[in-house]
């Protein structure tokens, strides 16, 4: 099964490189450092720590852990890898030169072997559910322990992995320890053959906000948005959601004519098309990148910058979190909750089901299915400041109550660093 998988990847490699070139026509960053994806990375000092986070969401979730590792192991080099360009930019913006960054290699035996020879980490910390058979096997062969941190596995993903049960079981045996977010995630990993699983909690609850963030949010609102007008944010939206959100905005502005929508698409390549869509729908739009203040008739403030989502949350009265009106699985609802905002999201929350359910149970969030329900929920919250305040306090309490994953993960990392080198499991032939 692994040979078949690897052969397919080699066949797809030219298409992957062509895709980087094609996306580079819009953003040259996609073409830069492409050799790193084949394992041609700078040679680093041995014995460092390696944290892999796929994109922006995983990187932001990993920040408390990365900062704690920098403080706890100041003498160990710390490498952070990402898969996406946006993830790379998030690393640089949040951590600067405190860590080293390269792109993770494609999951080819030669690329992963080359990458590990040059990086030579003492521990690999892989965020959430990044399961790559060849990379995991090369780590075992090199004697590098692996922690799958903040691991989650939805029912949908578990069914997919179950269709390739042999390959999945071999991958999970290669992982030294899986630190699952919740009991349900742990049970699904075990059902697929993972031998070493513990529940440490969701690292996203351990997010630490900058102390000046609320004040900066108020300042943004005063200087750029219009302090006296109601403001709601639709964050991390995907294709297929923006029309629904704009439908809701049209309904809401009948009753709230000064209402401002902060619209933040998830992916930068959609910024231009979403701006065009807003104007086609008859809304006056200001883009964050234009650095112009909103006018009284501005209906949409398009968040087309990177790394400012928390700031935009801090400037809003309530939040809708996208990726949930379409079958993407939702995005992090804990960030706006920690900022004291009432939270709205759609029916597709399988990637954040536990967090969503906790917020709903605490009356800190509302689930909506379409433009009518979204408009009705926003209208109710705008009309009732006390409801907004109570919901925001409830959400903050949920986040505070479930902190602790960071401490548990640091304990697991300390234990793994003290382990003797790992070796391939009996009967598993290394590539």
Which residues are identified as catalytic? 58
CB 334 within 8 A of CB 207: yes
Task: Map tokens 């062509």 to a residue.
Answer: 18
CB 122 within 8 A of CB 47: yes
In this structure, the number of other CB atoms found within 10 A of the CB of residue 277 comes to 18
40-46, Cβ contacts within 8 angstroms, sequence gap of 24 or more: 40/114, 41/102, 41/105, 41/115, 41/118, 41/119, 42/100, 42/102, 42/118, 43/118, 44/77, 44/79, 44/100, 44/118, 44/119, 44/120, 45/77, 45/120, 46/120, 46/122
Give the torsion through C-alpha atoms of 168, 171, 177, 182, to 10 deg: -20
Cα 327 to Cα 365: distance, rounded to the nearest angstrom: 19
Task: Map tokens 């029912």 to a residue.
Answer: 155
Could you tell me the CA-to-CA distances from 341 to 310, 389, 400 in Å, in that order? Answer: 12, 8, 14
Sign of the CA dihedral 171, 173, 178, 180? positive
CB 259 within 8 A of CB 232: yes
At residue 265, the 3 state secondary structure works out as strand
Please name the residues in contact with 171: beta carbons below 8 A apart, sequence gap of 6 or more.
131, 132, 133, 136
Cα 249 to Cα 262: distance, rounded to the nearest angstrom: 11
| Short-list 125, 122, 135, CA closest to 2 | 135
For every residue of 16-81, DSSP letters joined together read HHHHHHHHTTT-GGGTTTGGGGGT------TTEEEEE--SHHHHHHHHHHHHHHHHH-TTS-EEEE
């Amino acid at each position: 099964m692994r040979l078949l998988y690897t052969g397919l990847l080699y066949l797809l490699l030219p298409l992957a490189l062509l895709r980087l070139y094609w996306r580079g026509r819009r953003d040259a960053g996609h073409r830069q450092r492409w050799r790193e994806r084949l394992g041609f990375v700078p040679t680093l000092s041995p014995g460092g720590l390696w944290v892999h986070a796929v994109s922006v969401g995983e990187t932001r979730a990993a920040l408390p852990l990365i900062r704690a590792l920098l403080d706890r192991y100041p003498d160990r080099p710390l490498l952070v890898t990402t898969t996406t360009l946006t993830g790379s930019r998030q690393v640089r913006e949040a951590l600067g030169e405190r860590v080293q960054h390269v792109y993770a290699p494609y999951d080819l035996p030669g690329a992963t072997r080359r990458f590990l020879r040059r990086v030579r980490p003492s521990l690999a910390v892989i965020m959430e559910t990044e399961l790559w058979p060849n990379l995991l096997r090369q780590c075992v062969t090199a004697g590098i322990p692996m922690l799958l941190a903040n691991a989650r596995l939805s029912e949908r993903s578990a069914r997919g992995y179950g269709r390739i049960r042999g390959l999945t079981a071999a991958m999970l045996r290669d992982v030294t320890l899986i630190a699952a977010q919740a009991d349900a995630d742990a049970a699904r990993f075990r059902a697929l053959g993972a031998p070493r699983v513990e529940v440490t909690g969701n690292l996203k609850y351990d997010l630490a906000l900058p102390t000046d963030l609320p004040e900066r949010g108020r300042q943004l609102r005063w200087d750029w948005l219009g302090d006296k007008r109601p403001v709601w944010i639709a964050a991390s939206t995907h294709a297929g959601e923006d029309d629904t959100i704009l439908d809701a905005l049209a309904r809401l502005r009948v009753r709230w004519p000064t209402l401002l929508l902060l619209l933040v698409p998830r992916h930068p390549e959609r910024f231009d098309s979403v701006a065009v869509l807003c104007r086609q729908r008859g809304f006056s739009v200001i883009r964050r990148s234009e650095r112009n203040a909103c006018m009284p008739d501005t209906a949409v403030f398009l968040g087309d910058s990177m790394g400012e989502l928390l700031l935009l949350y801090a400037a809003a009265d309530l939040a809708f979190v996208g990726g949930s009106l379409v079958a993407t699985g939702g995005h992090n609802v804990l960030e706006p909750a920690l900022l004291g905002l009432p939270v709205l999201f759609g029916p597709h929350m399988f990637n954040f089901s536990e967090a969503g359910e906790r917020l709903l149970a605490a009356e800190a969030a509302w689930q909506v299915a379409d433009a009518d329900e979204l408009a009705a929920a926003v209208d109710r919250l705008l009309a009732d400041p006390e409801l907004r305040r109570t919901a925001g306090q409830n959400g903050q309490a949920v986040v505070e109550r479930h902190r602790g994953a960071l401490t548990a993960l640091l304990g697991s990392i300390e234990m793994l660093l003290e382990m003797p080198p790992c070796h391939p499991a009996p009967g598993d032939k290394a590539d």
